[in-house]
Amino acid sequence: MSTVQTLNTTFDIWSALFSVILMLGVYLTHRYNPLQAKSLFGALLANTFLNVFEALAYIFRGNASDLGWWMVRISNFAVFLCNHLVLLFAAAFIVRTLERSETVISPMFKRAYNAAIFVGIALLALSRIFGFYYAFDEHNQYYRLNSYWLMVIILWGSMLALFALTLKHWRCFSRIERASFVTLEVMPIVTAIAQLFTYGISLTTFAGSTSLALMFIAYELECSREIVANERRMLDDVIGALAEAVDAKDTYTRGHSGRVAEYAKMLAKRLGLGREEAERIYRMALLHDVGKIGIPDAVLSKPGRLSKEEFGVISSHASLGGDILSKVETMPEFTVGARWHHERYDGHGYPDGISGDDIPLEARIICVADCYDAMTSDRVYRTHLSQDVVRKEIQENAGTQFDPDVARAMLEIMDEDKGYHLREHG
């Protein structure tokens, strides 16, 4: 073999081994996105055989033995076949990626694309009967016939159709997905043109393996996001169940935690915090009263006014809630809302008497949300306060009990709530 053939053979073997490793990775994570996994696994499997047969074509080219005669012919046929299969499975992967984002794909595209692939495979099978695409001499050397370009054009057409689909739905893909698809769809055409005077149209050798590796990375990232989303859903379920348990214990504040969480999220957004931060504050607010689990029912559910000793007992729910949630080491921020939502901006709150910006913003937000719900909810000893009275209380306590900026945000939300619907929220 020439030096170029030796290098190409070596690269093909390593590329085949690499595809096998990626296939193992897909197999291990297939349960998170099974439809995409099957498509990617199929593309990698076809790519493995493509590289193996391409290496065999180089190894046995010019080998006049019976084995060489068979291997050269089988390998040349298999290279084209595996190229078709790589594209078929890659197209399925792209379609699954779009379906994940709920994008509607024209059935006409699917039918036309599949038809082009299978026509190419049918022509390939006929080439073995009628001897077109490649010719072989008595030394088992092979060279291209003019009909060879028919197969190339079919492959190029399939890749360009995929490229058109990718461009049409460009915004539906992540950056790494775009890179992988464009590498698969465009680079092999450039490679083939550059190799007009060499043997074989090594589509995958130079571009296919790279694109499939990028697809694998994109797939793994998607699986990771799905795992995180599942874990977040599980966390939200646990937090929601715990919040309901707290509300169930205090029969006079049923639904309180959920309402406070909604108000806190509204305030966070009004203050310009991002979506993730607002969601985090929402979860913190759901658990702000978790310390009430440790308060005796006789005190917590007492219908009348509390004595000084009883108020001290119920006030301990803040520090108790902070202690409980401090055990959740992976979510240390949960402690903030539970421990400090009764701190006052002027420093006269509890349990630690901190003031101003020393009180975490999340706790200042939950404090306003908590007080708003307390004033706008019915209690056994009184009905809810009117919107004007609630507005006056928040306005007068801005800068003393409440952070002025958070209080101002709450007043803006109330001014937009012309029908006093927030009182009934949750």
Structural domain spans, the chain: 3-226, 250-424
Phi–psi pair at 218, nearest 5 degrees? -60, -40
Measured CA to CA, the distance from residue 67 to residue 65 in angstroms comes to 5
What are the Cα distances from residue 280, in Å, to 74, 90, 156, 226? 60, 38, 49, 19
Say what the pLDDT of residue 310 is: 81
Closest to 420 (Cα-Cα) out of 380, 365, 382, 377: 377
Measured CA to CA, the distance from residue 197 to residue 316 in angstroms comes to 84
Strand partners, 136: 142
**Tokens in use for 59?**
């190894």
CB 395 within 8 A of CB 408: no
Catalytic residue among 168, 249, 292, 308: 292
Tell me the residue type at 27: Y
Measured CA to CA, the distance from residue 53 to residue 48 in angstroms comes to 9
| High-pLDDT (> 90) share of the chain, % | 25
Strand partners, 402: 398
Measured CA to CA, the distance from residue 195 to residue 180 in angstroms comes to 22
Single pTM value for the model: 0.59
Beta strand segments in 196-314, E: none
Measured CA to CA, the distance from residue 156 to residue 268 in angstroms comes to 52
Tell me the pLDDT tens digit for each residue of 265-318. Answer: 999 999 999 988 999 999 999 999 888 888 887 777 777 777 788 888 888 989
Closest to 120 (Cα-Cα) out of 85, 160, 162, 93: 85
Tell me the pLDDT tens digit for each residue of 203-224. Answer: 456 667 788 888 888 888 888 8
Measured CA to CA, the distance from residue 261 to residue 257 in angstroms comes to 6
**Tokens in use for 54?**
């391409």
CB 202 within 8 A of CB 187: no
Strand partners, 134: 144
Closest to 83 (Cα-Cα) out of 115, 112, 54: 54
Q: What is the distance, to the nearest Å, from the Cα of residue 175 to the centroid of all Cα atoms in its chain?
A: 13
Say what the pLDDT of residue 81 is: 85
Tell me the pLDDT tens digit for each residue of 235-280. Answer: 888 888 888 777 777 665 668 888 999 999 999 999 999 988 999 9
The CATH number that domain 250-424 falls under is 1.10.3210.10
CB 344 within 8 A of CB 401: yes
Measured CA to CA, the distance from residue 308 to residue 206 in angstroms comes to 80
Tell me the pLDDT tens digit for each residue of 44-100. Answer: 999 899 889 988 888 887 787 888 888 888 888 888 888 888 888 888 888 888 887
Say what the pLDDT of residue 1 is: 61
Burial 309-319 (b: 16+ CB within 10 A, else e): ebeebbbbbbb
Residue with tokens 């790494």: 176
Examine the residue annotation and report whether 292 is marked as an active-site residue of this protein.
yes
Measured CA to CA, the distance from residue 352 to residue 340 in angstroms comes to 8
Closest to 158 (Cα-Cα) out of 105, 215, 110: 110
